[in-house]
Amino acid sequence: MKHVLIVGGGLGGLAAGIKLQANGYQVTIFEQNGHFGGKMMPVQLGDYSFDFGPNTITMPYVFQKVLKEAGENPDNHLEFVHIEKHTHNLFPDGTSFYMTTNRNEMVEQFEQLDPHAEISYYDYLEEVKLLYETAENHFFHRTFSSWTDYLDSKLFRALWSVRPFETIDHFHRQFFRNDYIRNAFNRYATYVGSSPFTSPAAFALIGHLEMGEGVYYVKGGNTKIVKAFEDTLRTLGASLHLKTKVNKIIVQEKQVRGVELENGEIITGDIVVVNGDLLTAYPELVEEAHRPHFKNKKAKSYEPSISAFVIMAGLKNRNPNLIHHQVYFAEDYQAEFHELLQEKRMPGDPTICVCNSSYIDQDAAPGDNLFILVHAPAVTDEDSYDKEEYKHLIYDKLKRYGLDIPSQLVVEKVVQPSDIASTFSGYKGTLYGISSNRKLDSFLRPSNVSKDVANLYFAGGTAHPRGGSPMVVISGMNVADKIIHHS
C-alpha cells in the first residue's frame, strides 16, 4: 500500500486525503494548527460562534461529492440551507437593493434603478451560465502540469470564449448601466482576491453561482464541512495529526522520500501532497537546488491576492434590519482598489461586508454574531496603520448606516493580514493565494504537479484551479485523481 503524506489539513488536503484513502492508499495528514480546515476555522468567543473564513458557500455538490465518493451519505453529515435573499447592498446616498435568486424580484428592483438591467438581466444570467459551463467543462477538473496542456485545441477555443482580454467591469457594463448595480456584481472579483477593473471577465461566472444557483449556509456552521471531512477520514482509517508542523520535504535523486517534522522525526512516504500555500511551503520545505523550475525568485514574482481585516463582533441584540450578508459600499469603488493594489494601503473608505450567520442559525449565538470583513493589501513591508483606529473607522462608517456596534458589543476579536499569514502560513496573508489581476496568472496558476521532484503534488488555493472553498476541494480531488491514475 502506498503511503501518502499530506502537508496541511485545509479543505484541499482533507479532500485529497479522503479520495486517496478511499482508493487504497494509506494517508497521513500533518496540520501545524490545533484544528483541521485551515482558513475555514471555527472561532468561539463566549457564547458566540463564528465561522472564520468562508461564509458564502456555493457549489454544495462539490462538498457532497467528496463524501459520496468515499461511501458516505452527505445528508448524514451536512444540511445545506439555501438562502434565497442572501445579500443586502447599501450605498452612501441611501440607495439599497437585495441580491436574490428570485429573478422576478431582482428585475422589480431594477425598475427604478436601472431600466436597462430590467431587460438585460435575463441575458446576463444566460451569459454567466455559459462562462461557468465552459470553466466547468474545460478548466476546473484538470490538473495542468505543463505548458503543453494548454495547447489542446478544445481548451484553446474554450480559453478564447471566456473573454480573456475583457475585464469583469467591462463585461458587466453591457448589462448594468447603474454604477451601484454594476459594482454590486463587480464585487465578485474580490472572491478571487482581485479587482474587477483588471481581472478577466471569466470570473463573472461567480454570478451564475450566486444568482443562478444560490448561496448556502451549513446548519450548525460552515465548519461542519471540515468536521464531516475529518470524521470520514477517521472512518476510512487515515492517520491525522494536529499541532504537527512539517519542516522539510526529503528529496533524494529527484524523488520525494518523506518529510521531517518540527521535532526532527522523519516520516517516510511514497508521495507527498502539499496543501499548505504553495508559494510559502514549496520554497520553505524543499531546498532550492531540488527545484530548478521553481526558484525562490519565481515564487516571489507572483502578485498576491488581496487580504482582509476582520472583526468578529458578538452583539447583545438581534438587529431586525440585518440579513445573512450585507455590503456597505465605498463612495468610490474603483478608488478603493487603487488604494489596495497600487498604493498598497488600507482603504480610507472601505467597502464593508458583514455576515450575520445567526440570522439563519439562531443557535449560533444569543445575539447577532457579525463577521465583519474589509479588504486589505497583502502583507507588505510598508504595512503601517493603527489597528484600533482602523477598527473604529469601520464602526463609525457602519454607524452612519444605522448599525451601532460599540453600544451593543459583548465579545470582539480582530484579525489582520499578518495574523492570516502567521496562522495559516498563507502567502503574504492573502485570502486566495495569487491574484487574478494579471491575465496570465488567472489562467496559468502554478501546476498541481512538481516539475522537478517526482511524486510531489500541490492541492490548494494557490495551485490550479484557484482559491475559494469549493475550488480548493476540487483541487484536492484533482490531485488525488492524478495520483490514482499515474502512480
| Residues of the shown chain interacting with ligand FAD in the complex, contacts defined by CB under 6 A | 7-13, 30-33, 38-40, 53-56, 245-246, 275-277, 281, 308, 310, 373, 420, 424-426, 431-432, 460-461, 467-469, 472
Q: Write phi, then psi, for 225 (nearest 5 degrees).
A: -60, -45
Of 260 and 404, nearer to ligand FAD (C-beta) is: 260
Count CB atoms within 10 A of the CB of residue 106.
21
Beta carbon of residue 173, minimum distance to ligand FAD (angstroms, whole number): 26
Beta carbon of residue 415, minimum distance to ligand FAD (angstroms, whole number): 7
Beta carbon of residue 310, minimum distance to ligand FAD (angstroms, whole number): 5
- Contact by Cβ (8 Å): 364, 402: no
Nearest to 435 by CA among 368, 350, 337, 357: 337
Beta carbon of residue 251, minimum distance to ligand FAD (angstroms, whole number): 15
- C-alpha distances (whole Å) from 204 to each of 15, 169, 207, 259 are 26, 9, 6, 40
Of 65 and 177, nearer to ligand FAD (C-beta) is: 65
Beta carbon of residue 286, minimum distance to ligand FAD (angstroms, whole number): 11
Of 178 and 247, nearer to ligand FAD (C-beta) is: 247
Of 78 and 431, nearer to ligand FAD (C-beta) is: 431
Q: What is the DSSP string of 384-402?
A: ---HHHHHHHHHHHHHHTT
Question: DSSP character for 424?
Answer: H
Cβ burial 31-55 (10 Å sphere, 16+ → b, else e): bbbebbbbbbbbbebeebbbbbbbb
Of 52 and 121, nearer to ligand FAD (C-beta) is: 52
Of 60 and 426, nearer to ligand FAD (C-beta) is: 426
- C-alpha distances (whole Å) from 395 to each of 94, 314, 324, 336, 406 are 18, 13, 19, 18, 7
Of 117 and 299, nearer to ligand FAD (C-beta) is: 299
Question: DSSP character for 209?
Answer: I
Beta carbon of residue 278, minimum distance to ligand FAD (angstroms, whole number): 9
- Grid cell of 438 as nine digits: 494579471
Question: DSSP character for 57?
Answer: B
Beta carbon of residue 112, minimum distance to ligand FAD (angstroms, whole number): 30
